[in-house]
Structure 1
Amino acid sequence: MTFIHPLKIGSVTIKNNLILAPMAGITDSPFRVLCLRGGAGLVCAEMVSAHALHYGNAKSGKMLQVNPKEHPVSMQVFGSDEQTIAEAVKNAESCGADIVDLNAGCPVKKINKAGAGCVLMKDEAKLARLLSAAVKSVAIPVTLKTRIALNHKEFLGARLAKLAEDCGAAAVTLHARAAADVHSGEPDVDALAKACAAVKIPVIGNGGVLNASRVKEFMEAGCQGVMIGRGAVGNPFIFQDICDELAGKTPTSKDPKKRLEIYLNLIEENIAFYGERIGINRSRKTAGYWIKDFPNAAQVRGVFVRLDALSDIRKLFAQTLAGL
């Protein structure tokens, strides 16, 4: 069985079937660019409120911006009424998104109180109306991201996948945990397999993907693609690592030198997108993921978090790399 291969999602064909998941506060444009360099076949933006877009919220509007370097990209929207969802997906299309995704799986209470996210799993008729409105509003492919269940009493994965197919969605991403589990526990591969067997559109498996073994497990269950979220946060090159593992090679990003080079790349992308002050500030938040596991890592990290200029950061990293 060939685990890594191109994947067709409606009219869009991506180079491979490893996909970056949408993650609030993480999958901004600089991070997406780096994940594409790190081997992702498709990157997904953090979810945007259809309601906020409807009322012209500037921050939400900026989240739809597409960097020419980040294609193919999927923009994810969330909302609770057909009109604003239709407007949001049109906005995403006009901003350059290749695919647009509807979120019906987020378990965050603030999102759920607004009638969006995983609460849509309780009202399949409403979910169908929202998804159909999105599909009818744009020429680009529309996908659905949801979960296999709200809790462990009733598994909905197969039924929701069929709903997505019937509404014209080009693919469905299923997080293989119940909404009640959030991000804990083992993914339910059997539930994924049932969903895959129920539809002809691609089912993309998501949840707990940290290595090649999980990718193989999801693909053997019938998934045509695999979405990676938290596993990419500290390593945007996890996609290439998995390809290397499946090919019997040693992943290169585990090397401290390679990791620091990737991190500098991310800092530079953040600065290009946000400006030097904000870009460096955002980069500091993930320093613990990157500057570790080599001699004097703690000291390097301590110096790094006090630097405010890219030139000084480049000098520190050059000195550190020379000593490794």
Structure 2
Amino acid sequence: MAGTNAAEVAEAVRIVTDLGADLIDLNCGCPVKKIRSKGAGSSLLTDTPRLYQLICAMKQNTSVPVSIKIRVESHSHEKFNAEVASVVSDAGADFLVVHGRHWTEHYETPCNYQEIAFFVEQLNIPVIGNGDISCYDSLKKMLATGCKGVMISRASVGQPWLIKKLVADMQQQIFQLPSITEIGLIFIEHVEKLIELLGSEKFAIIQARKFAKYYARNLENKLQFCEMVNQCESFCDLKEICLRCFI
């Protein structure tokens, strides 16, 4: 969740706890302007008194683990790593997720493993590393920071089997990658689940257009497929396009 008002965050925490949340995360890494302009997201990294209040409010209103997701100083002029580490610890967060870039840095900037390692050294709670994990080699680089676990997001878009593959790699087991046909069927299932989640076929199709290029990354007619998906208006049409292009 994101927020700046301790009372509102406390109420939100109570609601999601009652709904059965397994853990609750406070987003202190979002770089989006409309979030930062409200003092939320990555703005909290330089407003540590407020950050402390928010974490305390969360901890006081739930029995489930509370995590904080942050970004790092990196090469910016902002210096907040040490103070954020202290506040996260003092406020009683259960674990910390660290994305190894400053909020102004884009994906072409390499993940800063050294600063993730800094938080590992400073804290007695688990640190989860995040950033640039897309294969076994990059996973090993992240784990070398001493982090207790990893978070993978961008690389898994369009290949939701990635987590299982990395686990198999760690265990030195063979993982059978899905065929092109199977990938098409997975995309269809993904959209079906979106319709179920959103309760709207129209909105699900709009979301599906964003994911199409990722599922089609190894498709010979990738551009044609994405163009057709962008023009389709119904799940029936999308399913027909997938069956035609992937099978």
Q: Do both proteins adopt the same fold according to a TM-score greater than 0.5, normalized to the shorter chain?
A: yes
Which of 274, 278, 283 does residue 203 from structure 2 map onto? 278
> Residues of 2 paired with 1:191 and 1:150: CA distance?
7
Note the 1:168-207 alignment, pairs <5 A.
168-207=92-131
1:178 is paired with a residue of what secondary structure?
Answer: coil
**Deviation by residue 1:189-230 (Cα, 9 ceiling, x = unmatched):** 111112111122110111222222222112121100111122
Identity of aligned residues (%): 28
> Residues of 2 paired with 1:148 and 1:180: CA distance?
10
1:182: Cα distance to partner? 4.3
Q: Residue 133 of structure 2 aligns with which residue?
A: 209
Q: Does 1:234 align with 2:161?
A: no
Contact 2:28 2:44 in 1 (8 A): yes
Q: Residue 317 of structure 1 aligns with which residue?
A: 242
Q: RCO higher in 1 or 2 (8 Å CA, sep ≥ 6)?
A: 1
**Deviation by residue 1:220-279 (Cα, 9 ceiling, x = unmatched):** 2110011112212232222123223333535514x3223212111111111222332322
1:123: Cα distance to partner? 2.3
2:101 is paired with a residue of what secondary structure?
Answer: strand
From the superposition, tell whether residues 182 and 90 of structure 1 become closer, same or farther in structure 2 (CA, over 3 Å). farther
> Residues of 2 paired with 1:303 and 1:183: CA distance?
28
- Aligned residues, how many? 245
The answer for unaligned runs of 5 or more in structure 1 is 1-76
1:170: Cα distance to partner? 0.8
Q: Does 1:82 align with 2:6?
A: yes
Whichever residue aligns with residue 221 of structure 1, its letter is T
Q: Does 1:257 align with 2:181?
A: yes
Contact 2:184 2:242 in 1 (8 A): yes
1:245 is paired with a residue of what secondary structure?
Answer: helix
Contact 1:155 1:191 in 2 (8 A): no
2:20 is paired with a residue of what secondary structure?
Answer: coil
Q: Which moved more, 1:304-313 or 1:219-228?
A: 304-313
The answer for unaligned runs of 5 or more in structure 2 is none
1:221 is paired with a residue of what secondary structure?
Answer: coil
Contact 1:177 1:187 in 2 (8 A): yes
> Residues of 2 paired with 1:111 and 1:301: CA distance?
30
1:142: Cα distance to partner? 0.8
Contact 1:252 1:258 in 2 (8 A): no
From the superposition, tell whether residues 110 and 244 of structure 1 become closer, same or farther in structure 2 (CA, over 3 Å). same
> Residues of 1 paired with 2:49 and 2:8: CA distance?
17
* RMSD (Å), alpha carbons: 2.4
1:302: Cα distance to partner? 4.3
From the superposition, tell whether residues 170 and 151 of structure 1 become closer, same or farther in structure 2 (CA, over 3 Å). same
From the superposition, tell whether residues 176 and 316 of structure 1 become closer, same or farther in structure 2 (CA, over 3 Å). closer
Q: Does 1:105 align with 2:59?
A: no
Whichever residue aligns with residue 65 of structure 2, its letter is P
Whichever residue aligns with residue 204 of structure 2, its letter is G
TM-score normalised by length of structure 1: 0.68
From the superposition, tell whether residues 111 and 263 of structure 1 become closer, same or farther in structure 2 (CA, over 3 Å). same
From the superposition, tell whether residues 310 and 157 of structure 1 become closer, same or farther in structure 2 (CA, over 3 Å). same
> Residues of 2 paired with 1:219 and 1:228: CA distance?
13
From the superposition, tell whether residues 159 and 264 of structure 1 become closer, same or farther in structure 2 (CA, over 3 Å). same
> Residues of 2 paired with 1:304 and 1:242: CA distance?
30
